[in-house]
């Protein structure tokens, strides 16, 4: 089943609003068994909306349109649909009555503009809006290819509420058959290329209904998504389980989670379960690791704090790094990383101390230690280690990659893999 | 001048990635004088990419395509363009050499997959990538309507870097006629509604060629963009100057910068010029203020470091906050904020100490101090102050709003406005 999405709004074209509706709908349609083939964004313009819908309606099973349903002059989606389908805009008396009651209850006059929200292209059905005024609209065009047309308000929480309320209903009307299952493997500590090599044989020998997608990201690490389409839910699950088993065998502990898991949460859960507390000492990351740790609600239970020791004098005074180590090995060294980790562990009274020191760039590189050279340190009362990373020439990317590697180091340590 | 954007990537259709590239490009194209008429998103599919580009290329002046340029099996944009235009994919020897050198310098093998990043459709020109490997591509199709085709990597910071580097060049190649001038006022410490009220009279009495846009954002603060279209550059400049003068008069020191200025840079420049050094003490922001300060290259010149005192024991041991203040006023109080600021200033040996302590949420609120209650503190050898903020119920939003307010507090202090 193929879906296409048409999002309407000048603010999306001008970039003053990011199109989060399209992402939300894409994910939700995927779960409902639709493959979203295309998203088209146009402005509040009759012809542009008509053209976008027309090019989708003949070749899809469902067209979802968001935006342009409100009462202001530039909300023209309904008119565009009426023009396209050669029907009139008519008042739906039930919707009109609902709106009248709703406005009166809130002590607001039922103006002509507000009444216009009760109009819909003839043949469309209203899906009432549980959290706002403009209803959604639904229509099934019969023909060589039956196609549903779902029209939703552009306000994200109203759009979501209507989809959540009517998803089953839409499925019934379109007599959906195909199921789509998917599982996303979240990894840290490996590049996209290397990960692809590891699962290459699975990609090459996959069943035609199985699809792989690699999604690299400095913050989440590389994600590997496996999807399976099938008319038979049990068969789809068997396929997905078989492929997932193979992926798990190959990736092992590189995988920190699945689907909507978040590395910060995973690390937090591990710390909480193990009863261990964490302190950080950051140089090149400038506080980003602590920022990510504290993005988790309740992190105060296991996170003591952090010293951002940007200046060498702070490394000595607040972390107890030795002048000897700084002079002999330099601030960017395994030795200093370990001393920073030990220092924050002791001074902040935590069980685990983790540190990062490196050259984020663009300045500060040397032939020996080019921009992108980073050391992570880890210290507990019985163990010390340092890891060297070779990252990129981009400052903000280096900060993010280092923070992800540090979170992964904590994860692996608590899991006793390192 | 009409632009259309084609964004390529299954992750965008599946909703696992929000299409921020389209928003960024829409805003940037607007500044360059293009009206973005349509954004089309398709998957990593030869035919879908070809169809999307074909439908744009005949009716636009510029088609911008992002995504699908990497070396993995599903990156097919270049092949789709070559098919559409009926040309071959060829190796660009200069790009190949650049890539070979870049990979060798990083000690990584120059595999066939990596070499494939040097291929481009015949007739295209490579725009070198200042921050990554895959180059951008540019091509001008002559014909009834001359149309530029700009192809960019999907990785946001690489895409942005190439556009920033080549924007003028693209304008020259396409011989742009209408000038669009704009100036964006960057503000901190004021809400969107209040800002709109202040400039309401200017919006109501504006010239028809002048446009205003309000762009709220937790990180940048509210931005006010003024745009002027004109075929006559001098006339446009006069309009823009007149309106800008009015805006400046009304907003005064709420404005921290213009256009591409970044609050972190502005604060850094002020600190550098004043010769003052900064230390931070963070609780609810968890390191985010330090992270933002250290996003600026060279920030080590004025930034000493930060203590993220998540645990009250750390507030006492590393910052010297008194048990008395914690017990009598609570960790979230003006008194503790000031003691934290004074503590980090003294212990990190800086001239200015700034602190943040508050209830980020979702837990921890009380009737007296609901979620979103935050205190900022500032301490110098001759001054101490605390500011109370009433923010939202959203944890990550509260962290970002607090960090912006803290940066603005530093700015206003160094400017001697507070």
pTM: 0.77
**How many domains are there within chain B?**
3
Task: Give yes or no for residue B166 having a pLDDT over 70.
Answer: yes
Residue found by looking up tokens 């290397």 in the block: A194
- Among B174, B189, B211, identify where a domain stops: B174
pLDDT by residue (tens digit) across A126-141? 999 988 888 999 999 8
B 388-417 residues with CB < 8 A to A: 395-396, 399
Q: What is the DSSP string of A86-155?
A: T--EEE-HHHHHHHHHHHHHTT----HHHHGGGEEETT-EEE--TTSSSPEEEEEE-SSS-EEEEEE-SS
* Spatial separation of the C-alpha atoms in residues B127 and B167, rounded to whole Å: 11
- Among A118, A144, A174, identify where a domain stops: A174
- Beta-carbon contacts of B133 under 8 Å, excluding residues fewer than 6 positions away, are B99, B102, B103, B114, B117
B109 contacts chain A (CB < 8 A): no
Is there a contact between B287 and A306 if contact means CB atoms under 8 Å apart?
yes
CATH of the domain at B313: 3.90.950.20
Please state which of the ranges A321-335, B88-102, B201-215, B398-412 shows the lowest mean pLDDT. B201-215
Q: Do both A16 and A63 map to the same domain?
A: yes
The answer to whether B225 touches B182, Cβ cutoff 8 Å, is yes
User: pLDDT at position B231, please?
Assistant: 75
Q: Do both A115 and A245 map to the same domain?
A: no
The answer to whether B344 touches A342, Cβ cutoff 8 Å, is no
Q: Do both B393 and B252 map to the same domain?
A: no
Q: What are A373's two structure tokens?
A: 């050279």
Could you tell me which residue, A281 or B394, shows the higher pLDDT? A281
The answer to whether A63 touches A148, Cβ cutoff 8 Å, is yes
A59 contacts chain B (CB < 8 A): no
Q: To probe the interface with A, which of B182, B290, B308 has the most A CB atoms within 10 Å? A: B308
Q: Do both B235 and B332 map to the same domain?
A: no
Nearest CA to B404 among B194, B244, B182, B216?
Answer: B216
A214 contacts chain B (CB < 8 A): yes
Q: Do both A166 and A115 map to the same domain?
A: yes
Q: What are B20's two structure tokens?
A: 């921020």
Distances in Å between the alpha carbon of B260 and those of A78, B185, B257? Answer: 39, 10, 8
Q: Do both A292 and A395 map to the same domain?
A: yes
* Spatial separation of the C-alpha atoms in residues B192 and A329, rounded to whole Å: 51
Mean pLDDT of A210-222: 86
User: pLDDT at position B318, please?
Assistant: 96
Beta-strand runs (E) in A291-358: 303-309, 352-358
Task: Give yes or no for residue A179 having a pLDDT over 70.
Answer: no
Q: Do both A23 and A111 map to the same domain?
A: yes
Mean pLDDT of B218-230: 87
Distances in Å between the alpha carbon of B40 and those of A361, B52, B410? Answer: 36, 7, 43
Q: Do both B121 and B184 map to the same domain?
A: no
User: pLDDT at position A383, please?
Assistant: 94
A22 contacts chain B (CB < 8 A): yes
Task: Give yes or no for residue A230 having a pLDDT over 80.
Answer: no
Q: Do both A250 and A299 map to the same domain?
A: no
pLDDT band, residue A355 (cuts 50/70/90): very high
Query: Min CA distance, B139 vs chain A (Å)?
Result: 23
Q: Do both A243 and A168 map to the same domain?
A: no
Show the domain range for A384.
263-414
Could you tell me which residue, A117 or A354, shows the higher pLDDT? A354
Q: To probe the interface with A, which of B31, B33, B41, B227 has the most A CB atoms within 10 Å? A: B41
First vs last C-alpha separation in chain B: 46
Mean pLDDT of A216-221: 88
Q: Do both A225 and A324 map to the same domain?
A: no
CATH of the domain at A106: 3.40.980.10
Report chain B residues whose CB lies below 8 A from the CB of A303. Answer: 310-311
Query: Min CA distance, B124 vs chain A (Å)?
Result: 26
Residue A222, number of CB atoms within 10 A of its CB: 22
What is the C-alpha radius of gyration for chain A, rounded to an integer number of angstroms? Answer: 28
Residue B165, number of CB atoms within 10 A of its CB: 15
CATH of the domain at A202: 3.30.70.2860
User: pLDDT at position B250, please?
Assistant: 97
Interface contacts A/B by beta carbons within 8 Å = 266
Task: Give yes or no for residue B242 having a pLDDT over 90.
Answer: yes
3-state SS string for A352-387: EEEEEEECCCCCCCCCCCCCCEEEEEEEECCEEEEE
B 170-209 residues with CB < 8 A to A: none
Task: Give yes or no for residue B61 having a pLDDT over 60.
Answer: yes
Q: Do both A236 and A133 map to the same domain?
A: no
Q: Which of A15, A52, A313 sits opposite B25 (nearest CB)?
A: A15
Please state which of the ranges A220-224, A397-401, B116-120, B280-284 shows the lowest mean pLDDT. B116-120
Q: What are A391's two structure tokens?
A: 């990252």
Three-state secondary structure call for residue A296: coil
User: pLDDT at position A74, please?
Assistant: 60
- Among B233, B258, B283, identify where a domain stops: B258
Distances in Å between the alpha carbon of A164 and those of A118, A128, A158, A283? Answer: 21, 12, 10, 46
Is there a contact between A306 and B304 if contact means CB atoms under 8 Å apart?
no
Q: Which of A15, A215, A287 sits opposite B17 (nearest CB)?
A: A215
User: pLDDT at position B417, please?
Assistant: 66
Residue found by looking up tokens 């009274």 in the block: A349
User: pLDDT at position B179, please?
Assistant: 66
Cis previous bond, A224, omega within 30: no
């Amino acid at each position: 089943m193929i879906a296409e999405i048409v999002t309407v709004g000048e603010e999306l074209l001008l970039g003053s609003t990011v199109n989060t509706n399209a992402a939300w709908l894409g994910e939700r349609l995927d779960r409902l068994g639709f493959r979203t083939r295309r998203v088209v964004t146009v402005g509040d313009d009759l012809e542009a909306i008509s053209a976008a819908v027309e090019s989708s309606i003949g070749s899809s099973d469902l067209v979802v349109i968001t935006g342009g349903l409100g009462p202001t002059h530039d909300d023209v989606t309904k008119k565009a649909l009426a023009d396209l389908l050669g029907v009139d805009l008519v008042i739906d008396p039930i919707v009109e009555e609902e709106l009248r009651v709703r406005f009166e209850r809130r002590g607001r006059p039922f103006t002509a503009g507000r009444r216009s929200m009760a109009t819909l292209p003839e043949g469309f059905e209203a899906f009432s809006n549980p959290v706002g005024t403009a209803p959604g609209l639904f229509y099934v065009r019969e023909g060589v290819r039956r196609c549903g047309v779902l029209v939703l308000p552009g306000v994200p929480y109203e759009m979501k509420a209507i989809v959540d309320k009517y998803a089953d209903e839409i499925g019934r009307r379109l007599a959906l058959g195909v199921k789509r299952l998917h599982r996303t493997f979240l990894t840290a500590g490996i590049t996209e290329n290397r990960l692809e090599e590891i699962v290459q044989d699975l990609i090459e020998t996959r069943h035609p209904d199985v699809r792989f997608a690699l999604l690299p990201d400095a913050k989440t690490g590389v994600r590997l998504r496996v999807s399976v389409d099938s008319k038979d839910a049990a068969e789809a699950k068997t396929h997905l389980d078989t492929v997932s088993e193979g992926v798990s065998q190959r990736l092992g502990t590189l995988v920190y989670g699945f689907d909507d898991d978040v590395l910060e949460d995973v690390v937090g859960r591990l710390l909480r379960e193990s009863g261990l507390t964490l302190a950080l000492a950051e140089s090149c990351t400038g506080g980003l690791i602590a920022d990510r740790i504290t993005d988790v609600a309740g992190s105060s239970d296991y996170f003591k704090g952090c010293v951002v020791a940007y200046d060498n004098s702070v490394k000595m005074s607040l972390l107890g790094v030795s002048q000897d180590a700084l002079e002999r090995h330099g601030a960017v060294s395994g030795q200093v990383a370990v001393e920073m980790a030990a220092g924050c562990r002791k001074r902040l009274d935590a069980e685990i101390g983790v540190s990062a020191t490196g050259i984020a760039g663009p300045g500060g590189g040397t032939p020996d230690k080019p921009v992108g050279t980073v050391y992570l340190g880890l210290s507990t009362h019985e163990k010390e280690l340092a890891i060297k990373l070779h990252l990129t020439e981009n400052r903000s990317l280096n900060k993010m990659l280092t923070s992800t590697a540090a979170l992964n180091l904590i994860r692996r340590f608590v899991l006793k893999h390192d």
